[in-house]
Structure 1
Amino acid sequence: MQQPYMVSQAVDAELYQQYAPALFAYLLRNVSSREDAEDLLLDIFMAVLEKRSSNGLDDQRLPAWVWAVARNKVVDYHRRNKHRTKVQIEKVAGMLFENEEQAPDHVALKNEEYQQLHKTLKELPETQREIIQLRFGHGLSCGEIATVTQKSEGAIRMALHRTLKLLRTLYTRNEKGGML
């Protein structure tokens, strides 16, 4: 003997199979997205299940009532969305990151590169790190760095050249996992 709950589930599944395809097609024609149609279909069947569980609906009136609920759900949907402007997420994402440098993946890669560079800069001797910082961090010319460090401009140019060469070597070594 079948339990009442199992009979109810079988009837509910049969109702869904009978009405869902046509209701879903109707909803797709009347709402703006597939996701909205799926949500409304769920709402319709929740209402059907509630009505059937309260024994307020006989099998003869069920089809008309289901379609009336579907129509009312579509009307409610349009009332709610009347003043809302809808934009698809793909378009918004494209607009947010028109400049590729602002895209999250690009920003994350840049941050990794900056961390690697910062780590590599720490490996430099203090005087070389200071020259790099003055030149690229503060934008000073070699002549201005010479004045600050009280060295000749030629010595600063040579030190900057050697420092950049060492920095490239260290950076390449660190990228390859510590091997030169």
Structure 2
Amino acid sequence: MKQLSITPAQATDAALYQRYASVIFAYLLRQVNSREDAEDLLVDIFMAVLEKSSLASMDEQRVAAWIWTVARNKVVDYRRRSKYRVSIELAKVEDVLYESEEQAPEHMALKHEERQTLHTILQELPELQREIVHLRFGHDLTCGQIATVIDKSEAAVRMTLHRTLKLLRTLYTRNEKGGTL
């Protein structure tokens, strides 16, 4: 019986995939029109990881920042290409099945309403602020990692995040008091 041997580089690539694929995929799902497109982009991102031979010499933070930068660039490329394609949002055609009470239609409707409110408020923000919020809270990146991904200083990211959170609090307060978004 023939044994498969795995090189240290292949083991590192597999570990990177295990560590980052699920969070990158979640990010992609929010950024693109369909699950299939997100899967395709994920493959493209990790193909780039396989082709990048210098990753082994980088520290963990730089590797993570590099992977997130590639993901962001792939999304930008996708958006450029998708301007010329017609697509339908997955949420409009997706059937919802539930196994527990929390997944019952009334609970899902409340969650949907909360998400819609958040989405509406986030849409009021400039794109850079939205992206910083998504990377920080959606993907748990540090301000230093975000700075590397968006090519800004860490101090600028921290200040932008602080101002954005303050603005979000104001917008939520206004919304709860019955004001308009």
TM-score bin, normalised by smaller chain: 0.3 to 0.5
Bigger CA radius of gyration: 1
Q: Which has the higher contact order (CA 8 A, sep 6+)?
A: 2
Q: TM-score, normalised by structure 2?
A: 0.42
TM-score, with structure 1 as normaliser? 0.43
